[in-house]
Amino acid sequence: MNTQTMTDDTVQTTEMRQKLRSIAGVLLMSLGPVLMAFILSGVILLILKVNPFSYYGYVFGRGLLSPTGVQATLTRMGPLLLIAASLIVAFRAGIWNLGGDAQFLVGAVFCAAATPLMAPHVPVWLGLLAGAAISAIFGGLWALLPAFLRAYQGLNEIITTLMMNFLGISLASVLVKLVFLDPSTTVPQTRTLAVEDRLPTLFGTTISSGLIIGLVAILAVHFVMTRTAFGLRLRVVGGNASAAVHAGLAVPLLTVMVFAISGGLAGLSGGVAILGQYGNVRADWNPAYSLSIVPLVFLARFNGFAAIGFVGLFSILSIGAESAARRTGVPNYFTLVTIGILLVMLAVSEYYSAKRQKAGA
């Protein structure tokens, strides 16, 4: 095929057509598994003798259609979006940071310990800013050990970050029980941040402005990864580490930076959850958001916009399932069944897209 003989017009139309086709392909590959996951979960509900239509009716009725439900959904999206941003940075750079749960918790615990103590002495905005910074810093610090091991010793970060999860989750619990304990209650939990010192809610609703932080973070990450020199460097490291060395990139330094950014965003997610929603950390609290978001980020093919959509869907499901559980007797972790099936469907679609690509190669 000779491009030189083509006129600019035909180049443009073929480019357009290719773009359209690739967009259609991405949509099919992203939404197809979702649809199949709902159908198969519906079949499981049928086996449990629950009407899937009424179950999902309750789920979406609560998570999406009721005013309080939708506010809860949007509030939960804030921390989840930050987790997604954290994962996108790492995964695009070819680094499988699966330690987000611990980074989240460590960030949350230090934020919850420090902010209520600061709040009475400083303006609200400064307290919030400091709290957010503390959560990001400690989240980032918790990612540094795997970072150095990966960057300078070549140790597999999947193993180390997962191991750091066990340590971090236990550490968070120990800190809450022994060090940051609120002396005024008998329940093992940190001091509680007063409601008026928390992140402001949006437009007179109960939606936390953490949602805005999450949206800004994920869009910023998407922009940095796709449009900037820094993002491209990270993607080169992820795409072919030998090529990155050959091109003169400081691969170990970039690796450490990726871990720090990724851990920082996960930590910030914990901070936003505390500053916006919970106000304190109870011992043994671990929402394990990170590992639930991993499949969603894959479904979104590391695309920030698509990730917003999937995180929204997950938020609706998890909020809605809590209500549906009470009405239909289906336990609320049935959401995890749907997500689990979604993962399998994702693998199947991945298999077919790889096969298609191979046929097209």
- Dmax (CA) for the chain in angstroms is 80
Q: How many Å apart are CA 198 and CA 214, to the nearest integer? A: 16
End-to-end CA distance of the chain: 15
With respect to other proteins, which residue has the nearer C-beta, 28 or 48? 28
Q: How far is the CB of 359 from other proteins (least distance, A)?
A: 8
With respect to other proteins, which residue has the nearer C-beta, 15 or 284? 15
Residue with tokens 């030189």: 4
Q: How far is the CB of 6 from other proteins (least distance, A)?
A: 10
Q: How many Å apart are CA 300 and CA 346, to the nearest integer? A: 10
Q: How far is the CB of 281 from other proteins (least distance, A)?
A: 37
Nearest to 200 by CA among 286, 127, 281: 127
With respect to other proteins, which residue has the nearer C-beta, 3 or 186? 3
Q: How many Å apart are CA 214 and CA 200, to the nearest integer? A: 14
Q: Check: CB of residue 101 under 8 Å from CB of residue 288.
A: yes
Query: Which residues are within 8 A (CB) of 357 and not within 5 positions of it... i.e. 6 or more apart?
Result: none
Q: Check: CB of residue 104 under 8 Å from CB of residue 180.
A: no
Q: How many Å apart are CA 172 and CA 241, to the nearest integer? A: 34
Residues that bind other proteins (CB under 8 A): 1-4, 11, 15, 227-230, 232-233, 235-236, 239-240, 242-243, 245-250, 360-361
With respect to other proteins, which residue has the nearer C-beta, 5 or 184? 5
Q: How far is the CB of 241 from other proteins (least distance, A)?
A: 9
With respect to other proteins, which residue has the nearer C-beta, 47 or 229? 229
With respect to other proteins, which residue has the nearer C-beta, 11 or 39? 11
Q: How far is the CB of 57 from other proteins (least distance, A)?
A: 43
Q: How far is the CB of 308 from other proteins (least distance, A)?
A: 22
Nearest to 238 by CA among 89, 353, 99: 89
With respect to other proteins, which residue has the nearer C-beta, 187 or 361? 361
* Phi, psi dihedrals of residue 181, rounded to the nearest 5°: -60, 135
Q: How far is the CB of 100 from other proteins (least distance, A)?
A: 25
